Structure 1
Amino acid sequence: MSEFTAMRRVAVVAPHPDDEVLGCGGTMARLASAGSEVHVVIATRGRPPRFSDGYMDRVMAEADAAHAMLGATRTHRLDLPAAELDGVPAAEVNAAVGACLDAIAPDTLFLPFVGDIHLDHQICFTAAMVWARPRSAGAPERIFAYETLSETNWAAPGTTPAFLPDSFIDISAQIERKVEAFAAFRSQAKAFPDERSPQAIRALATMRGTTVFCEAAEAFMAVRQIWRAA
């Protein structure tokens, strides 16, 4: 069995709706097409007065549409406060993320990169890693960090952790579905040359793909892989 087909129950942790599509939407589509369960955990929801309820209802509906396009099994919403996770006790964030991942019991985790400029991303990474501590045979066997346009590359490499990918997944057959899924986020998609534009998504996928001699790819940093005895 290849490493890719070993991913049978996958959880993608997204600090905010759309991070998961930007980071690994093509991989989600490829896994779903291969018969894997693909669960999305959206950690936060914007709250008034920063975000109106009407606006957030719209964003969550956009997420549902995008996930349906990608073949996601289920979307889980934790409704922690967006852009305010640093004000929530770590124990509460860890408990919310951990309870959700307990219920999913994934063999593979895709997480936001710990060096992303947005604190919500950093906190979600840490909370998921707290849950993923290998204290039993049920711990996830694979953990990967994904890159998010406008978050991962806007930090300060040399001062903050740099995203240095060592794992690539060919999404040549899924890149258009990824772009269409992100387009479902009408509230988030921007016109080129903004990073959150279809052209930028394709450009990054093309660059990551040519790194490993394929037409389009998503890049990841392997955080942990466990090769258990047969």
Structure 2
Amino acid sequence: MKVLAISAHPDDETLGCGGMLLRHAAEGDSLFWLVVTETHEPQWSAETIQVKATEVKRVAEAYGVQQYFKLGLPSIRLDTLPLADLIGRIRDVIQEVKPEVVYLLHGGDVNSDHCVVFTATMSVLKTFYMRKWGVRCIFCYETLSSTEAAPPQPHRAFVPNVYRDITPYLEQKLEIMGLYESETHSDPWPRGPSAIRALARYRGGSIGVDYAEAFMLIREVD
């Protein structure tokens, strides 16, 4: 089975679905990864940009990703770009990979890049196009420091309806998150190891396992 994780920023997928990516890999599935944005000058230094590029490569290797795609669009500026261009580039990747399962950012996040990527991807993955490209399921994942920080509006709420046991993979997920030295937080901040573990424990408690990840099933086509 082919699995595609779509993230606006490199660390999104580890926070949201890293445990499931490791589980997919352990079960013999093929992993693909699409990173939409990257840091840019002058907002970031050339040295920082290189550090972040190296981090992405290391994380892809740690997951055993078969192929990763970097669109290279400017981080924190997606809402200033033509949406049609992003739709076309995401469509190109999905056409090439033809994944059966897609993990996607939650559309209600407070992060504007996350919202744009969600909107563009859902435009690509209309029901009839899902069948055309072999996509069976679209799951949205939560991203610490963005999903829970959204304003208290019903249409922005993350309401999980799918839970997956990641108990055997949590420690490795935390190790991979540690590869993002430029992005990780120290405790007690949202992207610190204690918060990541606490969320996984809370989601696990919801289904009677030690650790889990939770998702919103957006669409499933048989």
* TM-score normalised by length of structure 2: 0.95
Q: Which has the higher helix share?
A: 2
CA deviations on 1:1-48 (whole Å, 9 max, x unpaired) are xxxxxxx11111000010010010000000011111111100001111
Q: Is the 8 A contact 2:127 2:221 kept in 1?
A: no
Structure 1 residue ranges without an equivalent (≥5): 1-7
Q: Please tell me the root mean square deviation across aligned C-alpha atoms, in Å.
A: 1.2
Choose from 68, 77, 85 the match for 2:61. Answer: 68
Choose from 126, 151, 154 the match for 1:156. Answer: 151
Question: Residue 32 of structure 2 aligns with which residue?
Answer: 39
Choose from 5, 12, 32 the match for 1:19. Answer: 12
* TM-score normalised by length of structure 1: 0.92
Letter in 2 for 1:170: D
Give runs of ≥4 in structure 1 deviating > 6 Å.
none
Q: Is the 8 A contact 1:23 1:149 kept in 2?
A: yes
How far the C-alpha of 1:167 sits from its partner, in A, is: 0.3
Between 137-146 and 207-216, the greater mean CA deviation after superposition = 137-146
SS in structure 2 of the partner of residue 135 of structure 1: helix
Aligned residues: 220
Structure 2 residue ranges without an equivalent (≥5): none
Choose from 194, 198, 202 the match for 2:197. Answer: 202
Question: Residue 105 of structure 2 aligns with which residue?
Answer: 112
Letter in 2 for 1:138: K
Between the aligned partners of 1:75 and 1:96, the Cα distance in structure 2 is: 14
Determine if the alignment matches structure 1 residue 142 to structure 2 residue 146: no
Between the aligned partners of 2:64 and 2:164, the Cα distance in structure 1 is: 17
How far the C-alpha of 1:102 sits from its partner, in A, is: 1.2
Between the aligned partners of 2:155 and 2:179, the Cα distance in structure 1 is: 32
Between the aligned partners of 2:107 and 2:141, the Cα distance in structure 1 is: 10
How far the C-alpha of 1:70 sits from its partner, in A, is: 2.2
Q: Identity of aligned pairs, percent?
A: 33
Question: Residue 80 of structure 1 aligns with which residue?
Answer: 73
How far the C-alpha of 1:159 sits from its partner, in A, is: 5.6
